[in-house]
Amino acid sequence: ADPCYDEAGEPRCCVPGLVNAALGREVLASSTCGSPANRVCDSSDPQRAHSADLLTSAPGTASPLCWRSDLLQRAPFNITLTVPLGKAFELVFVSLRFCSAPPTSAALLKSQDHGRSWVPLGFFSSSCGLDYGRPPAPADGPAGPGPEALCFPAPQAQPDGGGLLAFSVQDGSPQGLDLDNSPVLQDWVTATDIRIVLTRPAAQGDTRDGGVTAPYSYSAAELQVGGRCKCNGHASRCLLDTQGRLTCDCQHGTEGPDCSRCKPFYCDRPWQRATGQEAHACLACSCNGHARRCRFNMELYRLSGRRSGGVCLNCRHNTAGRHCHYCREGFYRDPGRTLSDRRACRACDCHPVGAAGKTCNQTTGQCPCKDGVTGLTCNRCAPGFQQSRSPVAPCVKTL
Amino acid sequence: EVMPTLDMALFDWTDYEDLKPEV
């Protein structure tokens, strides 16, 4: 069964499955240990390289298991982890498991334009006001009508020495918003890139060896970005295109990496995101098989009661009109052929002398005849008339 | 009664040269 069409072949809303969008993606870390090599970390030795790609490799497939930052001798202790997802995803959650004590301050950001600009999704801190100038997140979500980046408690250190930073898109979103019908929620969950900024190690402020600030580092594994490939309800899966880029397998007459526009000939109504109630498929223009291109006209769409706004371009086979549904001047409909037949329109073929013009009746094919002339193409004298020698009055009354 | 089709050869184009269709 095709998830994008029902048993009757009618389009229906379809979405790709929930995946870890970060799995296998390259992670850009602002700091990674091992250059230069030290006792525990050597970037040139696969057995001792704690590279950032360990954050997104399949669980249990890599050794060592954890990424480690370089040793941080003094403030600022900011380390940035950036994961380009390759295309837009609709986020559900983000999590990062720490292999050592989790930071006491971190920020989670997203980009919707492949890293050109960033907006925060949430903050995590033991001192929200001091670190981010924000109050701790209210228990019942944001106070405003839309989603917003709230400041949550910093991840708790676990008995094994690690910790988990976890964020759900619902955490920053008011209750009751519905993804189908809330453009602000759709915007909130959409991301092409995820960035985690670790800003304060757990032990910062401790001193050892007579007041000298100890060097600190971050160590983490399993960066997960749970989400669905964003296809706006018009695809059930994403595939790699010929250039190796992740892209939606668009259905419903849509195209683009996110199925966010109608295919060129499918512009009989404006593009819309599919919802659970309505697939909002892009409809092909009705051109009776005589045109390959069409354009959308909003005025016609409104006048039609929001049903059809497509206008066929370059009607072929001697047809004309918004839907290539009548014959162009100098041609008439052959009643023996269907409108979609390539030869549905026949040339008028009006007689150069007997006809008063070259344009015939588009329905009957009758040419306009001069006085005393008859026939569909005006090629004979009417009864009671005979041919003259004058091309101006080719038929005269019989004496 | 079916009349014959117009015979182009019978027309005199002397005064209507500019109207004469190309054959």
Smallest CA–CA separation between B23 and chain A, in Å?
Answer: 10
Those residues with Cβ within 8 angstroms of residue A200's Cβ, 6 or more apart along the chain or in another chain: A77, A103, A104, A105, A106, A125, A131
Q: Pairing mode, if any, of strands A119-125 and A190-200?
A: unpaired
Task: Nearest chain A residue to B23 by CA: give it.
Answer: A352
Residue B1 has pLDDT above 80, yes or no: no
**pLDDT tier for residue B5 given thresholds of 50, 70 and 90:** very high
ipTM of the complex: 0.91
Going A62 to A65 to A69 to A72, the CA torsion angle's sign is negative
Rounded to whole angstroms, the Cα distance separating A342 from A312 reads: 16
Beta bridge partner(s), residue A374: A380
Q: How far is A217 from A267, CA to CA, in rounded Å?
A: 55
Q: Which three-class secondary structure string do you get for A124-144?
A: EECCHHHHHCCCECCCCCCCC
Contact call for residues A274 and A234 (beta carbons, < 8 A): yes
Position A203 scores a pLDDT of 66
pLDDT tens sequence across A93-102: 999 999 989 9
Contact flag A383-B7 (C-beta cutoff 8 Å)? no
Give me the total of CB pairs closer than 8 Å, taking one residue from chain A and one from chain B: 44
Q: Report yes or no: A33 and A180 within 8 Å, Cβ to Cβ.
A: no
Residues of chain A that touch chain B, judged by Cβ-Cβ distance less than 8 Å:
351-354, 373-375, 379-383, 385, 387, 389-392, 394-395
Beta-carbon count within 10 A of A272 CB: 17
Is A392–B19 a contact, with Cβ atoms under 8 angstroms apart? yes
CA dist., res. A395 & res. A284, Å (int): 52
- Structure tokens of A324? 């290539």
pLDDT(B18) > 90? no
pLDDT per residue as tens digits for the range A303-345: 999 999 999 999 999 999 999 999 999 999 999 999 999 999 9
Mean local confidence (pLDDT), A241-249: 95
Selected residue of A349, A350, A353, A381 to mutate for chain B interface (largest B Cβ count, 10 A): A353
Partner residue facing A379 (CB), from B6, B10, B19: B6
Q: What is the mean pLDDT of residues A7-29?
A: 96
Residues 1-23 of B with CB under 8 A from A: 1-8, 10-13, 16, 19-21
* H-helix or E-strand spanning residue A240: strand A238-240
Closest chain A residue to the Cα of B21, Cα to Cα? A352
pLDDT greater than 80 at residue A258? yes
Nearest CA in chain B to A351: B6
CA distance linking residue A174 with residue A171, whole number of Å: 8
**What residue of B is the nearest CA neighbor of A395?**
B6
Query: At A196, phi and psi to the nearest 5?
Result: -120, 125
Which stretch of DSSP H or E encloses residue A303? Answer: helix A298-303
Cβ–Cβ of B11/A392 closer than 8 Å?
A: no
pLDDT tens per residue across span A158-168: 888 889 999 99
For residues A13 and A348, what is the distance between their CA atoms, to the nearest angstrom? 49
Distance from CA of A319 to the nearest CA of B (A): 26
In one-letter notation, the amino acid at residue A376 is L
pLDDT at A216: 82
Question: A134-139 long-range contacts, Cβ below 8 Å, gap at least 24?
Answer: A137/A171, A137/A172
